[in-house]
Structure 1
Amino acid sequence: MPTLLQNCKRYFGSLDLYTVLGVRRTAGEAEIRRGYHKISLQVHPDRVSDEEKEEANLKFQILGKVYSVLSDKEQKAVYDEQGIVDEESDAISQDRNWEEYWRLLFKKITVEDIQAYEEKYRGSEEERADIIQAYLDFEGDMDNLMDSVIFADIDNEPRIREIIQKAIKKKEVPAHNAFVKESKKKQEQRRKRANEEAQEAEEMKKEMGLGDQEDDLKALIHKKQKSREKELDGFMAQLEAKYCNKGGKKATGTKKGKK
């Protein structure tokens, strides 16, 4: 029977567990959790055709085992130090119901949950940490930053820029040219693009008679551009992973750790 690492290589193209989840080797618990959720959503058996279900089930199980290893301190330490996985451990037992395990990790959230979380998130230390991290990751590129940070819309850009400017002034982050020397023209283009997308979305909602529930929003984005549906799935994955703890309840702490 193939080992976990062999299956990772065969089905995900890499022997590295971190690469399989699309996260850094230095990733903390929250980033690993978000990576698992995002990738597992892409291969979830409920999202593929009947012909693809057998392979999707196998990939889903593999991802569950990868996450189990990286979320267990002892197994993660062994893997990080030696590059091996204990195939006999309870964490990756063949008898585990991986679908049930996934459901326990990620509670399905509602639009009301999102709205409540947005109110709590904006202006919080968690949001500030996310903004600063995105600024560092994208070396000051505001287009990518605004696409990356949840709930970052064009109306909040002045506030977001102020957060970054204060961090630069305190020497918490470097003054990347992409940020400090960004032209007014680029800023105006970003605002114009955001306004056009918002107007188009509103018009299409009316045309299609859609409401504000998640399925309706997905249908709208799917109608507009198929790739945008994936962007929303990625956003929902990120939000659900941040919003829920391992027991499936709403998280109450601050961040430990895209559309």
Structure 2
Amino acid sequence: MPALLESCVELFGTQDLYEILGIIKEASANEVKRGYYKLSLKVHPDRVSSDAKEEATQKFQALGRIYRVLSDTNLRALYDETGEVDDEIDTEQCKDWADYWRILFKKVSVNDIREFETKYQGSSEELEDLKASYLEYEGDMEQILENVLCCTHEDESRFAEILTDLINKGELPEYEAFTKESKKQKSGRRKKAKQEAEEAEHLSKELGLGKENGDDALMAMIKQRQQSRGQQMDNFMAGLEAKYCKPQPKKGKKGKATKKK
């Protein structure tokens, strides 16, 4: 196994372990764990296509090693003081990092998701995520809806109103992809959302699953949908967690920015 810091430079472009996890050097143990969790969801090997699995696996393993350093008081102190890590200690316990990840993070239940949605929607955290997605995807509403947590097409008008207000206040730049989006694009998005809803309803009836069946029915329905589409995902719950915790940004054409004068 290559030296950790060398792997970090190759895979993430830096050997700063804190920067990779998106946290500060003074981060608490919980913040370290959360940073690891969010990033590991993005690169989880079960969530990428077959041609990207090798790189995703390397990143996922490197993140496990990073977390092991920063979650251990002595190893973290050594890194903070010298900028080095003890790779001998780091490789002593070569393990299945997917199993290690599962030990650290419990599986997400439907009730967990619903509880999170209730607290998240309309919160300051949602607002910050909305602004970040707007900037990252340069106003592409389709990408924004794909990447802001817990949202559906029903949130589009609410998001559009919030973003327009922020643009008018000068808090966000103006992007053509947002301000000049065609009616055809908006209509296509609504049509796609309607088709997906109808598909879910049809499948639910086909499987005989109703609200009275509770969480098990919902899980069964989602699993069935997953199988019918032939998705390349060996771990269903990892995908579910990623959807509701921190979605992986999807590649897409970004809109061109128009600077506001």
Q: 2:40 aligns with which of 36, 39, 45?
A: 36
Q: Deviations over 1:90-148 (max 9, x none)?
A: x6652778566423431112111111111111111111111110000000000111111
Query: CA separation in 2, counterparts of 1:166 and 1:62?
Result: 41
Q: Corresponding residue for 2:66?
A: 66
Relative distance call for 1:87 and 1:190 in structure 2 (3 A) is same
SS where residue 15 of structure 1 aligns? Answer: helix
Count of residue pairs brought into register by the alignment = 222
TM-score (norm 2): 0.66
Query: CA separation in 2, counterparts of 1:98 and 1:232?
Result: 16
Aligned Cα RMSD in Å? 4.3
Q: CA deviation at 1:180?
A: 1.0
SS where residue 16 of structure 1 aligns? Answer: helix
Query: CA separation in 2, counterparts of 1:95 and 1:78?
Result: 20
Q: Corresponding residue for 2:29?
A: none
TM-score (norm 1): 0.66
Q: CA deviation at 1:234?
A: 4.0
Query: CA separation in 2, counterparts of 1:156 and 1:70?
Result: 38
Relative distance call for 1:157 and 1:229 in structure 2 (3 A) is farther
Query: CA separation in 1, counterparts of 2:237 and 2:193?
Result: 16
Q: CA deviation at 1:164?
A: 0.9
Q: Corresponding residue for 1:205?
A: 204
Q: Corresponding residue for 2:138?
A: 139
Contact 1:4 / 1:87 at 8 angstroms: preserved in 2? yes
Q: CA deviation at 1:40?
A: 3.4
Relative distance call for 1:76 and 1:145 in structure 2 (3 A) is farther
Amino acid across the alignment from 2:198: Q
Relative distance call for 1:76 and 1:176 in structure 2 (3 A) is farther
Amino acid across the alignment from 2:37: R
Q: Corresponding residue for 1:120?
A: 119
1:87 and 2:87 aligned: yes
Relative distance call for 1:169 and 1:75 in structure 2 (3 A) is farther
Q: CA deviation at 1:240?
A: 4.6
Q: Corresponding residue for 2:259?
A: none
Q: CA deviation at 1:190?
A: 0.7
Relative distance call for 1:210 and 1:199 in structure 2 (3 A) is same
Amino acid across the alignment from 1:42: D
Relative distance call for 1:123 and 1:32 in structure 2 (3 A) is same
Q: CA deviation at 1:214?
A: 2.8
Q: Corresponding residue for 1:219?
A: 224
Query: CA separation in 1, counterparts of 2:132 and 2:158?
Result: 16
Q: Corresponding residue for 1:194?
A: 193
Contact 1:107 / 1:240 at 8 angstroms: preserved in 2? no
